[in-house]
Chains A and B, each alone.
Chain A
Amino acid sequence: MWQRETFKKIKQIPREEHVLPGTALCAGCGGLEALRLAAKVLGDEVVYVNAAGCFTMLAAYPFTPFKGSWLYTTMGSAPAGAQGVRDALDVLIAKGRLPERENLKVVVLGGDGSTYDMALSSTSGAITRKLDFYYFCYDNEAYGNTGMQLSPATPYGARTTTSPCSLQHPSGATREKKDIFEIWRAHKPPYIATVAPRYPLDLEEKFARAATFTGPKLFLALSACPTGWLYDPGETPEVAKLAVETGLWPLKEAINGAVTHTYIPKPKPVEEYLKLQGRFRHLFEPVVQTEAIAHIQERVNAYWEQVEKTEKAV
């Protein structure tokens, strides 16, 4: 049974803010909520390497919400940028030009378009080179900054601007969400975790644990997105909660490749999650697409059956 060691009570969440307000991100952004919580553990001694995406709006010229540095890269090259920053810090420290105590953490911020798609090769390279960095993916399951186009993170059945529901494809997106967690895990990095903003203690605990490892530390943050998923901004925590409680977004970590689920939900039917969001409305109106919904449910059931088998065997 997985247990939190550092963060047991909500009042242990540090009071100090490290991502300041005044950014132009959408009201109710689930990704910002996850980043803000993560930064409470990461602190200010950080260089953020930001791939183009919604988080571009964090540090819109000439304003920045960070006390530390922020480096902006193309969508495909943030891990390469992180390598450069890490190397520069290491060289400066080795030459004695930067005192060891002024060492900084290097944190990549990438959306799912960058993470699942464009930056996959540079991430693979960085993990293979055992780059000592954090990778924070804010996953809102589409190219959000450009107006919600299909990405490999878009789940089956979601409507995006490039996967509209049509006569040929009544379900909207026809492909399954890419399993980036397993792709990362195949590289055997020391630490990988999924997090959701509605589970702040789980999130804080995982960032605290990751800090004890040297090498790539990869995070996949469910970024419930009112603008793209089409629900009221105030419902972000509710949507994130149901993603986890229906079993669609498993909370888990992998230490040196060994997976542990950090929260086992008593699974609710997937409809409860889907119904909250406009991007799935076509599955319920004007006619209920029973098969499509059953397909989503079956995939979730199969996932958790597999979890039960493998994690009990350990």
Chain B
Amino acid sequence: MMRTVRFHGRGGQGAKTASRILGTAAFIEGFVAQDSPVYGAERRGAPVAAFTRIDSGPIKQRGVIACPDLVVIADASLIQDPAARVLDGVNERTAVFVNSPLTAEQLQAQTPLLGRLTTLDLTTIALQQCGKGGAISALVGAVAGRLVGLRRDSVREAIARELADLGLAATQIERNQAVAIQCYDTVRTVPVAPGAPQPTASARLQVPTYESPTRGTARISAAANSILRETSGWRTFRPVLVPDKCNGCWLCFAYCPDGVISMAKDDRPVIDYAHCKGCQICVHECPTEALVAEREKEGTVAWKAK
């Protein structure tokens, strides 16, 4: 029976690679595997998705997985992001993994989710053991491998192959393997129901009506409205000002790519947390260490409408 897995993450976290790791691990065990990311303009921090299908025989399905057996959510902030559509097709039979410091029960109490929920704090594990919390593809892939019932060794081997493909150094690959296997062993398993009924969603192609240029080509009259889109959910860390240390040098303001730092009258930076993407340039460049990185905590990420 086919198993279908859908991965959700933010660009740069490794949802696509995790899906490849899972597919490769299944292939190593002799299964037929298919994996594909959503092709689009993926960006670091933007919601991305990837799909893996595993079966013992040929797979004739193609395309997106609307009703997966397992949903793997690499970034809990995506649950609140309606554009990410992480809960699409999730029913009480679906297994759901969330990378979160909360237990399944705590998360369930905070945000009622359908499905069989399990959690593990992959970001903290990655931060403590790899020194970085950004790319967690190996960890996510290993957890998914465990949940669908693949063997430890094939997951370990798949991680090596896929990370080598990305050009990672041998020492980094070994580190990732070790930490990933630790996650493989500690994640609380939930049953991944094989072959949950898959209603075939029909997609209807809408043929656009052609209007001659005299009627007007695509024209949008809007100005400077990108500000309506918040990007606060992109962050793992937020820059925080230690006012006593700030010497008012303006460097953070000069180097911020998104222009989310403005200088107050007293030459102190004011950070627009609704739009800061958490790139940490200001933290790196501050000459007096007046800007420090603070881990975003679940529930503190502001999704307030302005």
Contacts and interface: CB of A to CB of B under 8 A. Distances in A.
Interface of A: 10-11, 13, 15, 17, 19-30, 32-33, 36-37, 56-68, 145, 159, 165, 197-198, 200, 226-227, 230, 232-238, 278-279, 281-282, 285-286
A95 to B, nearest CB: 20
Contacts of B277: 27-28
B44 A226 contact: yes
A20 B226 contact: yes
Contacts of B169: 281, 285
B275 to A, nearest CB: 4
A24 B46 contact: yes
26 contacts: A10-B254, A13-B254, A20-B227, A21-B258, A21-B259, A22-B226, A22-B229, A23-B226, A26-B44, A26-B45, A28-B279, A32-B258, A57-B43, A59-B226, A60-B41, A62-B225, A63-B229, A64-B224, A200-B254, A226-B44, A227-B12, A227-B43, A234-B280, A235-B284, A236-B257, A236-B279
A233 B280 contact: yes
Contacts of A20: 224, 226-227, 259
B250 A13 contact: yes
Contacts of A10: 249-251, 254
A13 B285 CA distance: 17
A159 B167 contact: yes
A238 B279 CA distance: 13
Residue in A22, A23, A32 with the greatest tally of chain B CB atoms within 10 Å: A22
Given A28-B257, A57-B43, A22 B223 contact: no
Contacts of B231: 21-22, 24
B225 A63 contact: yes
B250 A234 contact: no
B275 A28 contact: no
Contacts of A238: 284
B275 A19 contact: no
Contacts of A61: 220
A56 B41 CA distance: 9
Contacts of A62: 220, 222, 225
B222 A15 contact: no
B226 A236 contact: no
B149 to A, nearest CB: 32
Contacts of B285: 237
A28 to B, nearest CB: 4
A64 B225 CA distance: 6
Interface residues of B, number: 47
A29 B257 contact: yes
A24 B41 contact: yes
B244 to A, nearest CB: 21
Contacts of A227: 11-12, 43-44
B194 interface: no
Closest 6 pairs (CB-CB, A-B): A234-B280, A22-B226, A28-B279, A21-B275, A27-B277, A27-B279
Interface string B3-26: 000000001100000000000000
Interface SS of chain A: helix, strand, loop or mixed?
Answer: loop
Interface SS of chain B: helix, strand, loop or mixed?
Answer: loop
A65 B224 contact: yes
Contact of A237 (B250, B262, B278, B284): B284
A29 B43 CA distance: 10
Contacts of B258: 21, 23, 25, 27, 32, 36
B260 interface: yes
B95 interface: no
A27 B228 contact: no
Contacts of B272: 21
B267 to A, nearest CB: 8
Contacts of A28: 44, 257, 277, 279-281
B229 A286 contact: no
Given A56-B41, A232-B280, A282 B259 contact: no
Given A11-B250, A62-B222, A64-B222, A21 B260 contact: yes
Contacts of A56: 41
A236 B284 CA distance: 9
B134 interface: yes
A30 B226 contact: no
Nearest to B223: A67
Contacts of B223: 64, 66-68
A27 B222 CA distance: 24
A281 B167 contact: yes
B185 to A, nearest CB: 29
Contacts of A59: 226
Nearest to A227: B44
Contacts of B303: none
B97 interface: no
B198 to A, nearest CB: 30
Contacts of A29: 257
Contacts of B167: 159, 165, 230, 278-279, 281-282
Contacts of B262: 15, 17
B255 A64 contact: no
A232 to B, nearest CB: 7
Interface string B246-286: 00011101111111101100000000100101111101110
Given A10-B254, A13-B253, A227-B44, A27 B278 contact: yes
Contacts of A13: 250, 253-254
B234 interface: yes
A119 B110 CA distance: 52
Interface string B55-69: 000000000000000
